[in-house]
Structure 1
Amino acid sequence: MKSRTELRVRYAETDAMGVAHHAVYPVWFEVGRGDLMRTLGLPYTEVEARGFYLMLTDLQVGYRRAARYDDLLTLETQVLEARSRTLTFGYQVLRGEERVALGETRHIATDQHYRPASIPEDIRALLAAGGQP
């Protein structure tokens, strides 16, 4: 399953050339993750209420085209892999049919003391099912 989030490039997100700054893409990815998890019926607030966090361990962004001020973009987010302690999310930023950027984030589950922890089986199964095409 993929979630689709519409984003409009705000003026504050651009550089002096009117191009979306590279630093906003990870923020957009976070918006997409939140939307995907809510779509799956698992808001991140519930994850934390169950006693664990999903800490970022790796972030990759491949920039293909410039996104500019006021562009309407679509962010597609999906679970690529759900393992016992780690999750990988994939992202695609589109302007119409044109690919603007691709990305991935990896996360490790930790307890509230930041020690690695297993993702509860019901949550992992939900996320793994959401990651199917």
Structure 2
Amino acid sequence: MPETPPAPTPTAGRSFTSEFRVRYAETDAMAVAHHATYPVWFEVGRSDLMRELGLPYSEIEARGYYLMLSGLHVQYRRAARYDDRLQLTTRVCELRSRTLKFSYELRRLAEDGAAPELLATGETHHIATDRTYRPARMPDDVLERLRP
């Protein structure tokens, strides 16, 4: 029977660790995860972290704000492959009244219990806007929950 990965678990500070497997649809003909999939995984981690902090994106948008992506960086170190068990740690690493930066560490979990292998690191930069897409100051309660 296939092993079910554990549910996401909170980590210290304003960070969160998500676990998932590389799906076949995310790979190329060589069973290697396509480079464009990593930002999608970052979004999974970011969404998990925001939910854990009590700030799901749906709530932020219902309050009239968007956290628009303004920058993305990925440093690829090793290839993720089909069915690899991955662990993604997402952190709030910089916070200002109108901007937010998340950092990411993606690791492959070894089936034999060995230390996880670092596959990629990255950052996303976001700017808070109102519904007209103009930069806006995030509400104080949102800033407080995001503060590292």
TM tier relative to shorter chain = over 0.9
Structure 2 match to 1:52: 65
**CA deviation digits over 1:58-89, x for unaligned, max 9?**
00000011100000000100100110100000
Two-structure CA RMSD over aligned residues (Å):
0.7
Shift of 1:24: 0.4
CA distance in 2, matches of 1:33, 1:10: 19
Shift >4 Å, 4+ stretches: none
Consecutive unaligned residues of structure 2, counting only runs of 5 or more, are 1-12, 110-115
TM-score (norm 1): 0.94
Structure 2 match to 1:92: 105
Aligned residues: 129
What amino acid is the match of 1:17?
Answer: M
Structure (1 or 2) with the larger CA radius of gyration: 2
**CA deviation digits over 1:17-50, x for unaligned, max 9?**
1100000001001110100011111111110111
Seq. identity, %: 65
Q: Does 1:106 align with 2:119?
A: no
| Aligned residue among 109, 119, 127 for 2:138 | 119
Larger RCO (alpha carbons 8 Å, 6+ apart): 1
Shift of 1:95: 0.8
What amino acid is the match of 1:122?
Answer: D
Consecutive unaligned residues of structure 1, counting only runs of 5 or more, are none
